Amino acid sequence: MKKLFLLLSLSACFACVNSAPVIVYNGDTLQLNREFRRRQTGSVKTSAVLPEISGIACSRVTPGYLWMESDDYSTIVATDDNGQKAYMKLRLSGIPSRSDWEDMCGGVYNGKNYLFVGAFGDNNEVNTNYYIFYFEEPEIVETSTTTTLPASYIKFEYPDGKSHNAEALMYDNVEQMLYVVTKVYYNVCSVYCLPMSMEYGTETQTLTYVCDLGKQGEQRFHLVTAADISPDGSQIIIKNHNNIIETQSVALLWKREGDESIRQTLLRQPGQIAAYQYEWQGEAVAWLDSDNFYTTSDEDEGNPPIFKYTRVDDTSLNANEDISKNDKPILVIRGNQLFITKQNSLYSLDGRQVK
């Protein structure tokens, strides 16, 4: 009887690992998008790169590399998707002193590649200084010294004149528009926009309200921490995290149709990416192209994993590439911990390969 109970318990655990949470959005249960498979490409060696990761962007000037930034360290680092080495470190000059760098993204403006950093975190909603820093993306050259780059900034306020917390920034190459997504606890988050311009100077710009993400009163998609628009403008991903209720951490995908605006796209129901799995303090997402994106997290108890999600043709395959239904995995106990074995490899319950 004890053996039977253990087997049933293990089976239940395995089912939880592979099941996606049910999300109600705009009053309807979202459809699962099974187009992507996930694999871990590496993990960020925090002692060499950054203590925590709040935002990432794929390099367009030096393909194959990722730019990463951290909340309170005012440093931007270039690494690869293995994450074990910092190839280049940047410090920005000519910008206001502001902590809470919450997200970053890349984009093309006037024919040049730029990186944008959102310095607009405000957990207590008491701040009045919100910025987007931007600078022309440099070529990544391996060096042990920190490179100082001149940067510009856009100071902004919200249209209601109030303070808001935000952790997500994205740029649309089609509209040449910057988008800020607020982070709200137990209520809907909102999207705001501002046209990119290098002519704003030091004057405070007012964002334009775009839309809410869901309906007031819905609590299943709140705490937005990351967002990005694919380089061709066709895909929008917005993700959240909830460290208290893990089953409410999801990544939503909108597909742009024709020449519609980002607002028109966001007003339609998104799909819920089935392959996405909960990440502790997951605060970063970046499109490589319209078929591939990366995520990583603010994990502070070790080296946070880097995951790459790839669109596949056969959507009948399991969404998670790490643990495939094609080869039945076996649940095992090592010491006091539960693991999954498959093809002589060992995985944790959240799909990370251990060895």
**pLDDT tens readout for residues 22-52:** 788 988 999 999 999 999 999 999 888 887 8
Quick one: pLDDT at residue 70?
85
pLDDT at 200 over 50: yes
pLDDT in tens, 302-349: 788 999 999 997 554 444 444 433 345 566 665 566 766 665 566 666
pLDDT at 6 over 50: no
Quick one: pLDDT at residue 49?
86
Whose structure tokens read 């249209």? 159
Tell me the torsion sign for CA atoms 299, 170, 256, 224: positive
- Residues in Cβ contact with 151 at an 8 Å cutoff, skipping those fewer than 6 apart: 92, 93, 94, 95, 133, 134, 135
C-alpha distance from residue 76 to each of 44, 68, 132, 210 (Å): 14, 6, 14, 29
Least confident of 67-71, 169-173, 204-208, 280-284: 280-284
Domain with CATH 2.115.10 in the chain: 25-318
Quick one: pLDDT at residue 3?
39
Residue 159 CA to residue 193 CA, distance in Å, equals 10
The mean per-residue pLDDT over the stretch 228-238 comes to 97
pLDDT at 217 over 90: no
CATH number for the 25-318 domain, one of 2.115.10, 1.20.1440, 2.40.50, 1.10.3470?
A: 2.115.10
Whose structure tokens read 């209520």? 187
* Top-confidence residue, 29 or 74: 29
The mean per-residue pLDDT over the stretch 228-243 comes to 92
pLDDT in tens, 251-277: 999 999 999 999 999 999 999 999 998
Residue 260 CA to residue 238 CA, distance in Å, equals 18
Quick one: pLDDT at residue 81?
96
Record the pTM: 0.84
Residue 346 CA to residue 326 CA, distance in Å, equals 16
Residue 245: pLDDT band (50, 70, 90) is low
- Give percent above pLDDT 90 in the chain: 63
Beta bridge partners of 268: none
pLDDT in tens, 141-174: 999 999 999 999 999 999 999 999 999 999 999 9
Q: What is the Cβ-side half-sphere exposure of residue 111, based on CA atoms within 13 angstroms?
A: 0
Residue 216: pLDDT band (50, 70, 90) is confident
Most confident of 17-26, 208-217, 334-343: 208-217
pLDDT in tens, 277-306: 888 788 999 999 999 999 998 765 678 899
* Top-confidence residue, 200 or 23: 200
The mean per-residue pLDDT over the stretch 104-130 comes to 95
Quick one: pLDDT at residue 47?
82
CA angle 78, 84, 87 (to 5 degrees): 30
Sheet holding 88-93, edge to edge: 55-58, 65-69, 76-80, 88-93, 146-150
